[in-house]
Amino acid sequence: MAQTIYQEMAGVLKNNQQEIVKLWVTQVNVGAKQVMEIAGEEWVKRFAMEVTEAFLKAMSAGVDIDAEAYSPMKEKFAKLSSEFAVKGISPSDTAKLVFSMKDALLATLQAGYQTEKLNEAIMLINQLVDKLGLFTFETYVKVREEMIKEQQKSISELSAPVIKVWDKIIMVPLIGMLDSARTQLVMERLLEALENTQSRVCILDISGIPLVDTAVARHLIRTVSAAKLMGAECIVTGISSRIAQTITQLGINLSGLITKSSLSDGLKVAFDIAGHKVTGK
């Protein structure tokens, strides 16, 4: 019985397919202007035609959007979410594009469907489009989260650059706050660089770090220890008078580290360890 009403609804809507597309595009033009501005009216019209056709073919399967019949339609909405997320179209306008389809479908049903079955038909359309709208929104959010993760990864990599200063000498200038995740990244990039360059000395310059506490000190010691296991010596530079006082007040023991107040002093030590001679005035 339920299958019959789906078929009836599909038949009524199919007879008015062009009108549905026209109404849908009109609704988008009114309620989702960002979509129109970025995607363009021709794209919206083409998308509406393709989705409407896929929707009418799938309707006979009922309102379970996980059914095989809805796969082509879900693929279109998934692609839509990905493209809109990348283009910067807001999630609200993305949702409006989908739900504008509901307005077009309901208006068409109200104009051409039997009165005694209209309420049931409206309820079914609401259920179906709401499910598709939720699927689209979830896909959009997932794509955005993946983009944010990639951006964070890129930013993190930039926040822990490894610079080859000279043969056998590399340097990691640290700027900003250090936390566990970033320190782990610094260690990984440092050890990878030591292996790739076969460097004997690494300079950790902390002049750009505003605060050194026990957690930061612990991270530095771990990094230095890991480097020593690979046969490299680490020099910590950029220790200001303020940081020195803080370390003393906190009772942090850095006796196992080579420390210098300035980068130039650290470089001199690094050149000595690496066996380079610096000549000139």
CATH fold for domain 2-153: Globin-like (1.10.490)
pLDDT digits (tens, 9 = 90+) for 175-206: 777 666 777 777 888 888 888 888 899 998 88
- Please provide the average confidence, as pLDDT, over all residues in the chain: 83
- Asked whether residue 232 carries a pLDDT value surpassing 80, the answer given is yes
- Asked whether residue 118 carries a pLDDT value surpassing 90, the answer given is no
- Asked whether residue 164 carries a pLDDT value surpassing 60, the answer given is yes
- Asked whether residue 1 carries a pLDDT value surpassing 50, the answer given is no
Q: What are phi and psi of 207, to 5 degrees?
A: -65, -20
What confidence score (pLDDT) does residue 154 get?
Answer: 59
Superfamily of domain 163-274: STAS domain (3.30.750.24)
Q: How confident is the model at residue 2 (pLDDT cuts 50, 70, 90)?
A: very low
Q: What is the DSSP string of 73-90?
A: HHHHHHHHHHHHHHHT--
DSSP letter, residue 66? T
What confidence score (pLDDT) does residue 157 get?
Answer: 57
Residue 235, C-beta contacts closer than 8 angstroms, at least 6 positions apart:
201, 202, 203, 204, 258, 259, 260, 266, 269, 270
pLDDT digits (tens, 9 = 90+) for 202-222: 998 888 877 777 777 777 788
Spatial strand order of the sheet with 163-166 comes to 163-166, 169-175, 201-208, 233-237, 258-260
Other Cβ atoms less than 10 A from the Cβ of 226: the count is: 16
pLDDT digits (tens, 9 = 90+) for 234-253: 888 888 777 778 778 877 77
pLDDT digits (tens, 9 = 90+) for 59-91: 877 778 888 989 998 999 999 888 888 888 888
| Domain range list for the chain | 2-153, 163-274
Element (H, E) at 230: none
Average pLDDT over residues 81-105: 88
